[in-house]
Structure 1
Amino acid sequence: MIYLLPKSLPATIILCFSIVVVLTSCGKKLTVVTYEKKRGTSRSNTTHTRKKEEYFDFDEKKTPSRSSANTSTTTVVKTTGSTLKLIQTAQSYIGTPYRYGGTSRSGIDCSGLLCNSFESIGVKIPRSSNEQAEFGQKVSIREIAPGDMVFFSERKGGSKVTHAGLVTVVKGSDNITFIHSSTSRGVVEDNLLSEYYQGIFVKAVRPY
């Protein structure tokens, strides 16, 4: 279809009319950006929409942000020999579901994961988490190294040990990764210095 317009109409009206013609002749949904010229300047009217999705687990909290200066000086504690084998054995269980009293790859609990991992390097530790917490030398968070055991209470500020994990990675002072069998997520790795785990942390022990 051809539309005839009077020559006397301003250029702005003609341009807008042209856009309307294009839209009415197309069956698809388009995003249109209009331009209007006035005294040698141009202006663009656009609308931006961004969808943001975030997923959180009930027992995971964000770790407080650290300065870029700390990041640039991060020191990673390396693992070798029996400690490396210990950690690799524990990590081979990642994805295994939690099972109270379990000691196999079909289902395992937190203390069972530690028992199996230490058994791979010839170290026998107690079966329950509260007994494991007394097996070895207590170390501070600053002294924590890969291969150390970490213990937690069931509530914030508690002192009774009900959960255990194994330190796998130490990256400076802002990231200490440990592996454990979570009742809700099975065998996973988490940051010991996250707000949640710092709240229920009881102690760290070096068993050998």
Structure 2
Amino acid sequence: MRNWIVAVSLASLICAGSSADADAKTVHTVQKGDTLQKISKRYHVSIPDLKSANNLSSVKLALGDKIVIPEKSAASASQAATARKEKSALKANAEKSTHSVKKGDTVASIARLHGMSEAELKAVNGLKTAKLKIGQQLTVKKSVQSVYTVKEGDNIWSIARKHNMSVEQLKEINGLADSNLKVNQKLALAIKEQPQRTRSTEADDDHAEQAVFDPKTTPIIASAKIAEVKELSKTEEVADMSLKDRLLLFARKMLHLPYRFGGNGIAAVDCSSYVQKVFSIAGIQIPRSAREQFRVGEAVHKSELNVGDLVFFQTYASFPSHVGIYMGNNLFIHASSREKRVTIDNLNHPYYVSRYIGAKRLIPEAELDGLELQLTPKE
């Protein structure tokens, strides 16, 4: 009798232990909208581990299914620990450093170079205004850098955009005097810590790409940005630049301005008013419409295009109805009715190839320095 009681007790203990193990496991009940991928992300478990633990041959789930969430293995825990160490190392690399103010530096350019906001840079250094002195030492974040190897078809704009940098920042980090690159050239990249993305921020990004001009929400963007570029044009650094470099700088500074047909730069711009504003700030007065702009300057073959040349297209009419500024490497910047903003496109895109009608060089090379010019259409 005693042996029987002991056996029953042992059996009870074994059953109790099994029950405790079962209770220790997390079980997820499949709800509407659930997928195996979402469940794996929620519980930080890989999809193969989920399928193995639940004997799933596919990723299909049914409402009410019970999904056992496997415990993390020692290897997973080790990987997580390693990831935490790597993250800590990255933060350590972002320790504070100093920046010596050079000619042409501004609070905005220094902040951008070191992945900081202007407000953050001013707060860290106790700056009450944006005025800086050459040689002034500023406390900044230490940039974490990696290296990118230039490939066939790359250009400085595509590389900068790919790595969330401005062209000016990429050129400054690498000491580039111009935008020319060579295949296999090594470029240092400043890595900025990216904020954690959520579904809502991704949706906002998608909406931003499709945003159209709204006078209620963007009534002063164009005029404010144009005024900012005009002020920039008065600085000593810009005054020392060649006309081509100034045109390119002013054109890029107006990137993303809202587009509106007939826009004159107060609330928005159209293609020809954008070009007119850029050239005007550079000291070159040109006609208002694309049709008139096509009648000035020297005709240039497509194979001989140079930075600052105007490229023309026939879009909605039989005459020149669209214009942009050539940037080099088959790229041009323009106010796009399709994108509803100032953007950069490739001349080799089928849409523009079929509508391209020619290019004009408005200023001869010999006349590029220090001239205030006014061009009028030929009779």
Q: Does 1:165 align with 2:324?
A: yes
Question: Partner of 1:32 in structure 2?
Answer: 50
| Matched residues, number | 158
Question: Partner of 1:60 in structure 2?
Answer: none
Q: Does 1:200 align with 2:355?
A: yes
Unaligned runs of 5+ in 2: 1-12, 29-38, 41-48, 61-149, 157-178, 182-240, 364-379
Counterparts of 1:138 and 1:108, CA distance in 2: 25
Map 1:42-121; keep pairs closer than 5 Å.
70-71=152-153, 81-104=242-265, 106-121=267-282
| CA shift for structure 1 position 23 | 10
Counterparts of 2:248 and 2:267, CA distance in 1: 19
The residue type equivalent to 2:336 in the other structure is S
* Larger relative contact order (Cα-Cα within 8 Å, sequence gap ≥ 6): 1
Counterparts of 2:259 and 2:51, CA distance in 1: 54
Task: Say which is worse superposed, 144-153 or 178-187, in terms of deviation.
Answer: 178-187
Counterparts of 1:105 and 1:77, CA distance in 2: 35
| CA shift for structure 1 position 2 | 4.9
The residue type equivalent to 1:119 in the other structure is S
| CA shift for structure 1 position 187 | 1.2
Counterparts of 1:199 and 1:205, CA distance in 2: 18
Question: Partner of 2:333 in structure 1?
Answer: 179
Q: 1:69 to 1:48 in 2, by over 3 A?
A: farther
Counterparts of 2:271 and 2:362, CA distance in 1: 16
Counterparts of 1:107 and 1:207, CA distance in 2: 25
Q: Is contact 1:96–1:105 with CA below 8 Å preserved after alignment?
A: no
The residue type equivalent to 1:192 in the other structure is L
Q: 1:149 to 1:46 in 2, by over 3 A?
A: farther
Q: 1:160 to 1:122 in 2, by over 3 A?
A: same
Counterpart of 2:324 in 1: which secondary structure?
strand
Counterpart of 2:262 in 1: which secondary structure?
coil
Q: How much is the aligned-residue C-alpha RMSD, in angstroms?
A: 3.8
Counterpart of 1:95 in 2: which secondary structure?
coil
Q: 1:89 to 1:136 in 2, by over 3 A?
A: same
| CA shift for structure 1 position 46 | 7.9
Q: 1:82 to 1:47 in 2, by over 3 A?
A: farther
| CA shift for structure 1 position 160 | 2.3
Counterpart of 2:27 in 1: which secondary structure?
coil
Q: 1:137 to 1:48 in 2, by over 3 A?
A: farther
Identity percentage of aligned residues = 28
**1:150-169 CA distances to partner (integer Å, 9 max, x unpaired)?**
111116xx85211111112x
Q: 1:105 to 1:127 in 2, by over 3 A?
A: same
Q: Does 1:149 align with 2:310?
A: yes
Q: 1:48 to 1:90 in 2, by over 3 A?
A: farther
Question: Partner of 2:228 in structure 1?
Answer: none
The residue type equivalent to 1:88 in the other structure is L
